[in-house]
Structure 1
Amino acid sequence: MSDRHVRRSGDEYRDAFLTLLPLGQAWPKHAVDSVLWQACDGLCQYWGYVDGRAADLLERESDPRITVELLPDWERNWGLPDPCYTAPQTIAARQLALVARMTMMGAQSREFYINFAAQLGYTISITEYRPFMVGLDRCGDNRVYGDGSNPMFSDMFVCGYLPVYNPDGERVADGELSEYPNYGLGPDTNRFYWTVHVHQANLMWFRCASGQCGVDPHLRIGHAEDLECILARWKPAHTEIVLDYSGLTPGDPMAGTP
């Protein structure tokens, strides 16, 4: 990146300072071996250093993408490192986390939560609920089979078309039976619950620097505590989240082998 700020060296400050001195034999400002010239040179080299450091702060440290010296100050002002998950260790990773925090636009859509979970390394899907609604639902088994379209819409609804999902909160595939679009004659508070299906385990591998032989296993498979913390903070205040880890099967390659 080109430097947009003019940097003046100590020599330039010295020459400018000598130019401002009076003329005459008592001011040998052009004699390099004079005490006056050498004194001005030594004093002005410091101002050249100060000028360069100021340019560093204005050019580099004011940009969160490349800041290094003021990175801790940037992080403190933006609430980093996030207490919900392990802080990045490298300078580059910390810069990326800072820019992500500064540019992130909050939302309450499925895509927002799914995409942020992907940034943390998790694959999730979401299921939303609602109570039975007369004129919109029907009695009996009101599930439908997918027809292969994306998104798949059910023609059973007489009051507009609504998307249909499978039990994992994903679009139903061709020939797949959907989830119940409602949960019968339940309370109207059903609409305030949503389920997050976590499809990827949190793998904690043994590390020589931090693990203890004979005590710590080769691999721990834990809950997505960092993801749960983030979701609890960013969920709509009037809703409650149900975490579903049932999709983590022993044969899942993402779960590893203990």
Structure 2
Amino acid sequence: MDTDQLTQNYQQQLHNLLPPGPAWSDNDPLLAGLVPAFAAVHERANDLVRESDPRQTVELLERWETVSGLPDSCSVPGADTLEERQRRLNSKVNAVGGITEDFYLSVLDDIGYPDATITTFGGDNFRCTSHCNDSLHDEMSNFVWQVNFTEETKVFSMTCDSKCNEHIRTWGNTVAECVMNKLCPSHTVVIFSYP
């Protein structure tokens, strides 16, 4: 609802609350002075409702992040946009843990990779009695899985403005890789694949 409509609604509500009679006019200065204040309080209450959603928070973003333990070791200081910070916060606050493929895909979706897929390498091991089209993977492959990104890898090169202890070149999506490595079961290894 826009501000003009909200102001008109409060004007009408206050007018309806007045007792009937000639004591009050339609353009009473007291009512005209109260209406903008009521409308402003109403709008700020709507802002507070929006701020309670991690996907939409702006004013309370830093407080949300502090409560959620963000930024963490996966965050790159000063590199995240507002939208990326909101997505990361939403993923951290609303993630329901699990070790299923659906859980990891939902986390990837929350942090901005809805098209990512997961490949697992486990399954039956190939034996001399196996069919020729059976898997060739060994038992250790049961503990390896791969996250497949649809976007090309990001490459960051050192520049003359870089600090002397920075890497000459880095590649990959460090935030998504860090989040997946933090969430993966400790007995597994995650491989990241880029086109």
TM-score by length of 2: 0.55
| Residue 16 to residue 9, structure 1, CA distance change in 2 (3 Å) | same
Aligned length: 184
Aligned counterpart in structure 1 of residue 136 of structure 2, from 131, 145, 164: 164
Q: What's 1:29 paired with? A: 25
Task: Give the C-alpha shift of residue 49 in structure 1.
Answer: 0.8
Paired residue for 2:76?
86
Distance 1:221 1:99, change over 3 A: closer
Cα pair 2:99 2:184 within 8 Å, conserved: no
After superposition, give the CA deviation of every residue in 1:22-80 in whole Å (9 maximum; x if it has no partner): 4455x2423x3xxxx2122112310111112223333x435444333343444445544
**Structure 1 residues 39 and 220 mapped into 2: Cα distance closer, same or farther (>3 Å)?**
same
Give the whole-Å Cα distance in 2 for the aligned partners of 1:49 and 1:218: 50
Shift of 1:84: 2.5
Residue in 1 that maps onto 2:40 = 49
The 1-side partners of 2:146 and 2:20 are apart by 83
* Aligned counterparts of 1:89 and 1:227: Cα–Cα separation in 2: 12
Superposition deviation, residue 90 in structure 1:
1.4
- Contact conserved, 2:154 with 2:171, CA < 8 A, in 1? yes
* Residues 228/44 of structure 1: CA separation in 2 closer, same or farther (3 Å cut): closer
Aligned to 1:236: 185
Q: SS where residue 54 of structure 1 aligns?
A: helix
Match of 2:131 among 155, 159, 173: 155
One-letter code aligned to 1:13: Y
Q: State the partner residue of 2:158.
A: 206
1:49 and 1:94 map into 2 onto residues whose CA distance is 28
Q: Structure 1-normalised TM-score?
A: 0.45
Q: Quick check: which one's helix share is greater? A: 2
Q: Aligned residue for 1:248?
A: none
CA distance in 2, matches of 1:92, 1:72: 13
The 1:92/1:105 distance shift into structure 2, 3 A limit, reads: same
Q: Secondary structure at the match of 2:135?
A: coil
Give identity over the alignment, percent: 25
Q: Distance in 1 between matches of 2:83 and 2:18?
A: 48
